[in-house]
């Protein structure tokens, strides 16, 4: 038993009042003068004793009234036990609710909630219930309990989230929760059976713990959806491109609306084919300085509104000057590099070509970064000038072409060479390819086709401690090295920028590679403007040492440790997160996982195979000690109040009876 308002028990101290009053009234106040009592016979002790017992009964009733009154205000209740032994043959029914974003389509969630409540109603008396929500990971909403009302309350309170479910992770989470359970278990998965939620390996759907699996499908055949699948910013052309996907069997028209910094900027009407995509583009945006909020959404919306929009942070391009150092300004290396650099930022990139001898005449700090087509063309004075520039915070992209072979070390950085056999000398047409790419590095995003390039010759360089090798050839020789030098950085390319040693410049991947390396050199990639849902964000990720992070609703976001410092915030909402610090404001866009838009369901035979993988709960398992969730307290104060009323009436009757007795004695 527990007390919901225990402070009211202090009222029990009032029982001292009747005790004090009874002590004052212990003698009869009605006294008469009498001459002498020596000739009277002594009274019977039995009658005196009976009189004292009657007074004690009245005292006890009055104490009981005050004690019960205090207990009523303290609100006693019965609290369920934290642990209990369940009956033999009892079973745990775990209800797993899919709370991913697709469950918000139409009335799916209503059907899912009804299915979960039907499971609760059908559970036999004595069995246990547990409620689990699965979206971005699994979380327990209620511990095993026999209180069906508590589980119903949990079902009615949970809602779909901005998350994507994975059925493989779902089964792994169920495994962890059932580990060590001494009861047979039935797992009821309430979901919409999205094909995109299935794991890569079907075997991941098999639980290691013995259980029976029941799948409750909340979807319906023929459900349709349209979504904004992707939004991108083309810095070269200054356009925002949007892709609208159809997950329906009919063609429709949709209006794609661009909202810039909260104001409706432009709109296009598209014909979206059945089961295909349509593209829209918006140019000539009036961008302000700094980050701009771009929101693309569909009109009219559909039954899954959460994927009818996507968010993008766009920064207005600033003019950049690039210094290209080449011994032959009309050579192929300069030609390919110029074309690639101009494709990156278009007319906003001003490329100035000079020979190595003109380096001392230039103020290198006026350029966003410097490109040296071949390190072998640099003299000692040129290399020293570039070294001082990089150490002071500059950026340099340097190629190790055919003139670099006779050098004792790489100019500027001092990297050592190692002996290598030119591949062209081994056999005609011999080449090597890229064997390793650091796909996690943002400068190499979208450059997987780099593996298609053929390298006939290269310069073998030894990486220095602290270097980051971005790409290697098949024999392990570094191809791209990211080297820190003082306050700046140098990227080494261990081959030529023309077609003499490789065919990379004529492949489509050459422009994205130069674009990624350029952005890395000027620091654009150091500032995060988009982050996946479910990851974390810190002020350091947007280039701020300290700062406060605000969620899409404008509320201060607490850190993972709930310290309120804004450091390492979990991104659990879609929209724009704002980071304020040092007088600066940075924006980060968070979008829904595109997989949630595809409502294609799992094939029925695959669902049956999933069920058949999880048939193993022993019906005759012995019951044991099971941790039970505390049930809702059962109030006892109404019964205490009824007893109080009865005691009040009894005290009144006994008091009146004693009063009549006392008056009779007085008469």
| pLDDT of 576 | 94
Cα–Cα distances in angstroms (integers) from residue 584 to residues 347, 548, 576, in the given order: 28, 11, 16
Q: What is the CATH number of domain 85-222+607-627?
A: 3.40.50.410
CATH topology of 85-222+607-627 equal to that of 320-526? Answer: yes
| CA-closest candidate to residue 91, choices 123, 132, 133 | 123
Chain center to CA of 662:
79
| Selected residue with higher pLDDT from 498 and 17 | 498
Place of tokens 């993008």: 312
Which residues are within 8 A (CB) of 64 and not within 5 positions of it... i.e. 6 or more apart? Answer: 647, 651
Considering the segment(s) 227-316 as one domain, its CATH architecture is Sandwich (2.60)
For residue 600, give the DSSP letter. Answer: P
Q: What is the mean pLDDT of residues 45-55?
A: 48
- What's the token pair of residue 657? 């009876």
Q: What is the mean pLDDT of residues 425-448?
A: 79
Give the pLDDT band of residue 12 (cuts 50, 70, 90): confident
What pLDDT, in 10s, does the model give residues 312-356? 998 877 777 899 999 887 778 888 988 888 876 655 678 899 999
Give the pLDDT band of residue 81 (cuts 50, 70, 90): very low
What pLDDT, in 10s, does the model give residues 585-642? 889 999 999 999 999 999 999 999 998 887 764 444 444 445 555 556 667 778 878 8
Residue 590 CA to residue 592 CA, distance in Å, equals 7
What's the topology of domain 320-526? Rossmann fold (3.40.50)
Ranges of H-type helices in 346-449: 380-391, 423-426
Place of tokens 């002594």: 42
Give the pLDDT band of residue 25 (cuts 50, 70, 90): low
Q: Is residue 283 pLDDT above 50, yes or no?
A: yes
Give the pLDDT band of residue 85 (cuts 50, 70, 90): very low
Q: What percent of the chain has pLDDT over 90?
A: 43
* Residue-averaged pLDDT of the chain: 83
What pLDDT, in 10s, does the model give residues 642-655? 887 888 888 788 77
Pseudo-torsion of CA 147, 151, 156, 158, nearest 10°? Answer: 150
**Coarse DSSP helix, strand, coil percentages of the chain, rounded to the nearest 5 percent:** 35, 30, 40
Q: Is residue 561 pLDDT above 70, yes or no?
A: no
Which residues are within 8 A (CB) of 170 and not within 5 positions of it... i.e. 6 or more apart? Answer: 96, 98, 134, 138, 189
Q: What is the mean pLDDT of residues 189-207?
A: 92
- What's the token pair of residue 604? 């029925």
Residue 393 CA to residue 118 CA, distance in Å, equals 66
Q: CA gyration radius for the chain? A: 40
- End-to-end CA separation in angstroms for the chain: 51
> What are the domain boundaries of the chain?
2-26+44-79+635-666, 85-222+607-627, 227-316, 320-526, 530-591
CA angle 143, 147, 152 (to 5 degrees): 85
The answer to whether the beta carbons of residues 467 and 489 sit under 8 Å apart is no
| pLDDT of 57 | 74
- Please say whether the dihedral angle defined by the alpha carbons of residues 448, 451, 453 and 455, taken in this order, is positive or negative: positive
| pLDDT of 72 | 80
DSSP annotation string for 234-281: ETTTTEEEEEEEEESSS-EEEEEEEEETTEEEEEEEEEE-TTSEEEEE
| pLDDT of 560 | 59
Residue 414 CA to residue 408 CA, distance in Å, equals 9
Q: What is the 3-state secondary structure (H, E, C) of 314-373?
A: EECCCCEEEEEECCCCCCHHHHHHHHHHHHHHHHHEEEEEECHHHHHHCCHHHCCEEEEC
Count helices and strands (H / E) in the chain: 11, 31
Q: What is the mean pLDDT of residues 121-129?
A: 90
| CA-closest candidate to residue 186, choices 245, 130, 143, 237 | 130
What three-state secondary structure class fits 115? helix
Residue burial 166-183, b: 16+ Cβ < 10 Å; e: rest: bbbbbbbbbeebbeebeb
Neighbours of 494 (CB within 10 A): 27
Residue 184 CA to residue 94 CA, distance in Å, equals 11
| pLDDT of 111 | 95
| pLDDT of 84 | 46
């Amino acid at each position: 038993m527990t007390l919901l308002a225990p402070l009211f028990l202090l009222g029990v101290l009032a029982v001292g009042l009747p005790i004090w009053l009874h002590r004052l009234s212990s003698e009869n106040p009605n006294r008469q003068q009498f001459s002498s009592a020596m000739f009277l016979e002594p009274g019977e002790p039995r009658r005196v004793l009976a009189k004292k017992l009657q007074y004690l009964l009245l005292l006890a009733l009055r104490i009981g009234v005050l004690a019960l009154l205090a207990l009523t205000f303290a609100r006693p209740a019965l609290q369920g036990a934290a642990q209990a032994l369940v009956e033999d043959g009892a079973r745990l029914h775990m209800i797993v609710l899919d709370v991913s974003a697709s469950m918000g389509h139409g009335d799916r969630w209503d059907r899912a909630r009804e299915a979960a409540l039907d499971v609760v109603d059908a559970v036999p008396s004595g069995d246990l219930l547990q409620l689990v929500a699965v979206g971005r990971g699994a979380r327990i909403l209620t511990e095993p309990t026999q209180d069906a009302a508590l589980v119903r309350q949990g079902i009615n309170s949970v809602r779909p989230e901005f998350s994507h479910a994975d059925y493989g992770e779902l089964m792994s989470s169920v495994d962890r929760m059932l580990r060590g359970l001494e009861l047979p278990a039935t797992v009821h998965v309430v979901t919409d059976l999205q094909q995109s939620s299935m794991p890569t390996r079907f075997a991941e759907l098999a639980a290691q713990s013995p259980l029976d699996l029941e799948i409750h499908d909340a979807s319906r055949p023929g459900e349709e959806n349209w979504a904004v699948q992707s939004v991108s910013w083309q810095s070269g052309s200054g356009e925002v491109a949007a892709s609208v996907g159809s997950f329906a069997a009919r063609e429709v028209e949709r209006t794609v609306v661009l909202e810039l910094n909260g104001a409706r900027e432009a709109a296009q009407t598209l014909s979206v084919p059945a089961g295909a995509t349509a593209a829209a583009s918006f140019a000539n945006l009036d961008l302000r300085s700094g980050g701009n909020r771009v929101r693309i959404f569909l009109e009219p919306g559909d039954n899954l509104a959460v994927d009818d929009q996507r968010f993008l942070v766009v920064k207005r391009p600033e003019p950049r000057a690039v210094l290209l150092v080449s011994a032959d300004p009309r050579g192929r290396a300069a030609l390919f590099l110029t074309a690639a650099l101009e494709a990156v930022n278009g007319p906003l990139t001003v490329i100035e070509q000079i020979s190595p001898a003109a380096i001392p005449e230039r103020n290198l700090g006026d350029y966003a970064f410097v490109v040296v087509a071949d390190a072998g063309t640099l003299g000692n004075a040129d290399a020293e000038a570039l070294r001082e520039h990089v150490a002071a915070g500059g950026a340099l992209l340097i190629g190790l072409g055919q003139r670099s072979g006779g050098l004792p070390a790489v100019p500027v950085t001092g990297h050592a060479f190692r002996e290598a056999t030119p591949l062209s000398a081994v056999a005609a047409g011999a080449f090597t390819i890229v064997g390793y790419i650091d796909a996690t590095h943002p400068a190499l995003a979208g450059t997987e086709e780099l593996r298609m390039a053929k390298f006939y010759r290269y310069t073998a360089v030894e990486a220095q401690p602290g270097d980051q090798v971005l790409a290697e050839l098949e024999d392990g020789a570094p191809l791209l090295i990211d080297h820190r030098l003082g306050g700046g950085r140098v990227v080494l390319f261990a081959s030529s920028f023309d077609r003499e040693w490789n065919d990379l410049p004529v492949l489509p991947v050459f422009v994205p590679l130069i674009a990624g390396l350029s952005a890395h050199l000027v620091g654009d990639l150091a500032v995060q403007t988009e982050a996946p849902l479910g990851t974390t964000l810190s002020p350091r990720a947007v280039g701020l040492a300290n700062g406060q992070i605000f969620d899409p609703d404008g509320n201060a976001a607490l850190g993972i440790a709930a310290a309120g410092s804004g450091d390492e915030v979990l991104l659990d909402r879609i929209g724009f997160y704002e980071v304020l610090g040092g007088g600066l404001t940075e924006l980060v866009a968070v979008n829904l996982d595109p997989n949630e838009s595809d409502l294609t369901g799992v094939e029925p035979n695959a669902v049956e195979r999933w069920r058949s993988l999880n048939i193993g709960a022993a019906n005759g398992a012995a019951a044991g000690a099971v941790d039970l969730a505390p049930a809702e307290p059962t109030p006892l104060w109404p019964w205490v109040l009824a007893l109080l009323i009865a005691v009040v009436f009894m005290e009144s009757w006994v008091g009146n009876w004693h009063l009549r007795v006392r008056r009779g004695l007085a008469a």
